[in-house]
């Protein structure tokens, strides 16, 4: 781990970890969980850190640890247009050189998995592993390799237990963008390695999307933006889930397609925008938006059949059109192309629920939630879990997951419907009435007809849900 200033060089390794995590917004509990220590120990370390660095607030601590970005030298390669990442060899902290196979294997698997993403530029393993064993300055590595982000991590083994930590560093500032810790058993080392890879890759893909091209929306009117820049800005806007952000994204993507009608990414993203506009109830004509999403999804696959996101977009566009079987085929293909695509896992879990394959639905949603817990769209995963439990007759669990979804996204109608219907199924009429009121507070124009945006395949199950929504107090 690099030191951020001469003052920071006075800190021990653990103090540096605590100082950086706290400066980046980590709580005592989060830091304690990450390092496997007590929150009170974190507090004690911070008192020592403040004394050593001569600071008295979190803001001063952050300023002390984060110097000005290093300028690129004339010999440094230019950063590519895509978000770029160098994955350093993970450090073996087990005091056993024989364990290098696991730390090296974890790093190599993450590089391979990230390289599958069409949205990222990844430095090859043979290059990044040349830094192995060196006490590197992460910002210097980013400068030398011409990348925006550097991923570093460590592996520690104790008996049959393995702890892997990983953190993504912004090479321009040296600040920590994301960090996580994973614990597992070595009973099946390859399964453990696969799970760690999936979790790290899924989280990084989302984090990088949200950490790149953070200019204000107004600057998106610049006439010199490339197709790539236009699509990347659209990813940001998609994750806002507001009518305004969707409208802005649609404008950008229409510009991108005017520049390059055969851009698979632009077609795919415009499919996603139309789909979410329809699903969230923002479309003037829901059916027209759904059909546009489907057509654009098919077009994206025709342009790039190896793009898992294109198959994902097509898969979810099928739902409102009652094309459940086609959705399953597309989403299973997305997972096949990229076993680390948490969005595809989650959406596959949703369509499995819609067709009544509830055990598979739950299993896929669990993978998506575990591998990408900070996904801004995770409320879809929560409502998918609620749906599967509702259809299984586990109404208490359905209520719990629906409430979690509502907490994340009150404007997502489906979780309100699942909550209300589950209360009715349990005979909890007062709670059902309260759930309907809360739904109408967030969505004044909601009605039972909106259920057709996410239809179940079984007409009998659909009629049962409609009946329960009427009993709860919904109309239409």
Residue closest to 226 by CA, chosen among 259, 249, 251: 259
Residue closest to 474 by CA, chosen among 419, 426, 427: 419
Going by their DSSP bridges, the two strands 84-87 and 91-92 should be labelled as unpaired
What's the pLDDT at 3?
37
Question: Within a 13 Å sphere around the CA of 182, how many CA atoms are in the beta-carbon half?
Answer: 26
* Residue 371 to residue 342: CA distance in whole angstroms: 7
Per run of 10 residues, the mean pLDDT along the chain (length 476 residues) is 47 76 74 75 81 75 63 61 84 76 80 76 80 81 87 83 86 84 75 76 74 50 70 85 95 94 94 97 96 98 92 97 98 89 93 98 92 85 98 98 97 98 97 97 96 97 98 94
What's the pLDDT at 361?
98
Give me the residue label for tokens 């005091």.
95
* Residue 211 to residue 148: CA distance in whole angstroms: 10
What's the pLDDT at 299?
98
Could you tell me the CA-to-CA distances from 412 to 133, 203, 331, 388, 452 in Å, in that order?
49, 23, 22, 17, 14
How many residues are given for the chain? Answer: 476
Residue ranges of domains in the chain, CATH in brackets: 8-65 (1.10.10.10), 84-211 (3.40.50.10610), 213-279+286-313 (1.25.40.10), 340-476 (1.25.40.10)
Residue closest to 372 by CA, chosen among 212, 240, 205: 205
- Two tokens at 73? 């030298």
Residue closest to 171 by CA, chosen among 81, 101, 70, 253: 70
């Amino acid at each position: 781990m690099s030191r951020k200033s001469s003052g920071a060089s006075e800190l021990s390794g653990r103090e540096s970890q605590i100082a950086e995590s706290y400066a980046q917004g980590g709580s005592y509990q989060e830091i304690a969980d990450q390092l496997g220590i007590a929150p009170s120990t974190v507090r004690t370390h911070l008192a020592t850190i403040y004394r050593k660095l001569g600071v008295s607030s979190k803001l001063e601590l952050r300023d002390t640890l984060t110097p000005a970005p290093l300028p690129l030298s004339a010999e440094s390669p230019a950063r590519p247009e895509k978000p770029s990442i160098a994955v350093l060899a993970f450090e073996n902290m087990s005091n056993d050189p024989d364990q290098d196979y696991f730390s090296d294997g974890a790093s190599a698997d993450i590089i391979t998995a990230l390289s599958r993403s069409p949205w990222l530029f990844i430095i090859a393993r043979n290059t990044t592993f040349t830094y192995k064993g060196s006490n590197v300055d992460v910002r210097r590595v980013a400068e030398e390799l011409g990348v925006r982000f550097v991923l570093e991590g460590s592996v520690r083994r104790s008996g049959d237990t393995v702890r892997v930590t990983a953190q993504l560093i912004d090479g321009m500032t040296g600040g920590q963008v994301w960090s996580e810790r994973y614990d597992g058993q070595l009973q099946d080392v390859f399964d453990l390695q696969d799970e760690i890879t999936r979790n790290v890759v899924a989280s990084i893909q989302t984090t990088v999307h949200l950490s790149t091209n953070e200019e204000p929306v107004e600057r998106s009117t610049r006439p010199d933006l490339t197709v790539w820049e236009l699509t990347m800005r659209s990813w940001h806007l998609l994750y806002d889930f507001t009518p305004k952000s969707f409208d802005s994204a649609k404008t950008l993507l229409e510009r991108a397609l005017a520049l390059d009608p055969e851009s698979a990414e632009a077609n795919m993203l415009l499919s996603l925008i139309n789909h979410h506009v329809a699903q969230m109830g923002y479309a003037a004509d829901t059916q027209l938006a759904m059909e546009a999403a489907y057509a654009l999804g098919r077009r994206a696959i025709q342009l790039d059949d190896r793009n898992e996101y294109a198959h994902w977009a097509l898969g979810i566009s099928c739902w409102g059109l009652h094309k459940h079987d086609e959705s399953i085929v597309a989403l299973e293909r997305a997972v096949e192309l990229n076993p680390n695509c948490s969005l595809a896992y989650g959406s596959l879990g949703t369509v499995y629920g819609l067709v009544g394959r509830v055990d598979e639905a739950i299993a896929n949603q669990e993978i998506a939630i575990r591998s990408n817990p900070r996904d801004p769209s995770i409320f879809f995963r929560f409502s998918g879990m609620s749906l599967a439990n509702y259809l299984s007759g586990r109404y208490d669990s359905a209520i719990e997951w629906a409430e979690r979804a509502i907490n994340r996204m009150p404007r997502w109608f489906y979780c309100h419907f699942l909550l209300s219907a589950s209360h009715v199924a349990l005979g909890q009429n007062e709670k059902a009435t309260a759930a309907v009121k809360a739904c109408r507070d967030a969505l004044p124009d909601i009605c039972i007809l909106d259920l057709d945006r996410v239809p179940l395949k079984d007409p009998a199950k659909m009629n049962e849900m409609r009946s329960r929504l009427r009993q709860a107090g919904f109309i239409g």
